[in-house]
Amino acid sequence: METNFIHEDVPGGVPLKMWTRGLPVEDQARRQLTNAARLPVVHHHIAAMPDVHFGIGATVGSVIPTLRAIIPAAVGVDIGCGMMACKTTLTAEDLPDNLAPLRAAIERAVPHGRQPGSRDPGAWSKAPGAVTTAWAGLEPEFTELCRDYPKLAKTNHIQHLGTLGTGNHFIEVCLDEAGFVWFMLHSGSRGVGNAIGTMFIELAKQDAMRHQVNLPDVDLAYFEEGSRYFGDYVRAVGWAQRFAAINRELMMKRVIEAAKAVIHKNFQSHVEAVNCHHNYVSREHHFGEDVYVTRKGAVSARAGQLGIIPGSMGARSYIVRGKGNPDSFESCSHGAGRVMSRGEAKRRFTLADHRAATEGVECRKDKNVIDETPAAYKDIEAVMAAQTDLVDVVHTLKQVVCVKG
């Protein structure tokens, strides 16, 4: 198999294999990768995807395999964040000339942003039937977690189930290379996942102060198998990942219902469907060992497995098929990857810049989304070119509607 990665040895640690040819890697991100490579629990090497960039706790776009241990901050606080996409039988000609009503219908159907009432304690009784049915399958294990960690009971859990959130989370209506309509969305485990991640990251740091005195970075504190919190973390993170996948399914159902209210033509909605995490941990076998693989901003790309690599608000996105490259731990990038902070994007770009970059897309064009403007991200075409040994492109999507949280 051809290889696109750059091999870098790390003194006192495992090597880095980086799919970053022709792409920038910040010094901060490189330092984070190097620090992680020096952990005694990391197995064989660390893989960095083309969209790699500095992240809170650990590098976004990194794949970190660990032996009999997990690093909570490498998983992060947006546990189970990921993508879902559905191909329909609709074509471009079936869409209305004016897409604003379609965008408005989706915005009404899927709670997004910081909407009033998100912390309404009465939301239990107001939750739609699909949400309460989904929660019934999640509740028993959550109740067990709350017995051991009571603060989790105070999160928004069911109130956030079926909601988009803020930041880079989005819903899009896209057209593929043949003109078929797709619905695509990006979200995760919302407030409850954040609470789980934050709590266990802090517990890992406390453990590190007692037992792991030589950590290169306290954010890389880890739980080892058999330690006090390891089993609880595995249980909690697995639950949050299930919550995230179900959250995306519930939102997709609402998006399709909203579209059917605007587009007066019968259509099938799941001709092809993909639902994949890109912030998560999974038990897998690589290079002779059973390991915990943490993908923070990376997608599983086993041979034949479908995944989603989204671009920015004005760029193409891709449905891909994995090649099962062992050097990347059978992974690929999760998107374009930021090239600057949100603050820097707001300072550098104007509303005119953003409007020009999103021309032809029915989306928000106000000052509050400038931090998500396409130029704040790497060139998705360059990102895809850097990982031709990881995935094959199955479909190329271009959005015509974008709803931002």
Residue 120: is its pLDDT beyond 60?
no
The predicted-structure confidence for 48-62, as pLDDT tens digits, reads as follows 999 999 998 889 999
Categorize the per-residue pLDDT at 124 as very low, low, confident or very high, splitting at 50, 70 and 90: very low
Domain assignment of residue 309, given as a range = 6-339+377-404
389 pLDDT above the threshold of 70: yes
Task: Give pLDDT tens digits for 90-101.
Answer: 999 999 999 999
344 lies in some domain: no
pLDDT tens track for 102-118? 999 999 999 987 653 44
Give residue 338's pLDDT.
85
Percent of the chain scoring above 70 in pLDDT = 95
The pTM of this model reads 0.93
pLDDT digits 0-9 by tens, 251-264: 999 999 999 999 98
Which pLDDT score, from 0 to 100, does residue 374 have? 87
Q: Choose, from 44, 53, 160, 334, the residue flagged as catalytic.
A: 334
Can you give the CATH number for the domain in which 91 is found? Answer: 3.90.1860.10
- Domain assignment present for 130: yes
* 14 falls within a domain: yes
Query: Is there a contact between 207 and 223 (Cβ–Cβ < 8 Å)?
Result: yes
Residue 348 lies in a domain: no
**Burial letters for 335-358: b for 16+ Cβ neighbours within 10 Å, e otherwise?**
bbbbbbeeeebbeebeeeebeebb
Across all residues in the chain, what is the average pLDDT? 92
| Residue 404: pLDDT band with limits 50, 70, 90 | confident
* Residue 354 located in a structural domain: no
Structural domain contains residue 239: yes
Contact yes or no for 183/255 (Cβ under 8 A): yes
Query: Could you read off the pLDDT of 346-355 as tens digits, one per residue?
Result: 999 999 989 8
The verdict on whether 334 is a catalytic residue reads: yes
The verdict on residue 259 lying in a domain is yes
Number of domains in the chain: 1
Residues 183-199 as b or e (16 or more Cβ within 10 Å = b): bbbbbbbbbbbbbbbeb
Query: pLDDT category, 123, cuts 50, 70, 90?
Result: very low
The answer to the question of residue 363 being in a domain is no
**Cα dist from 19 to 4, 61, 237, 281, whole Å:** 6, 10, 28, 21
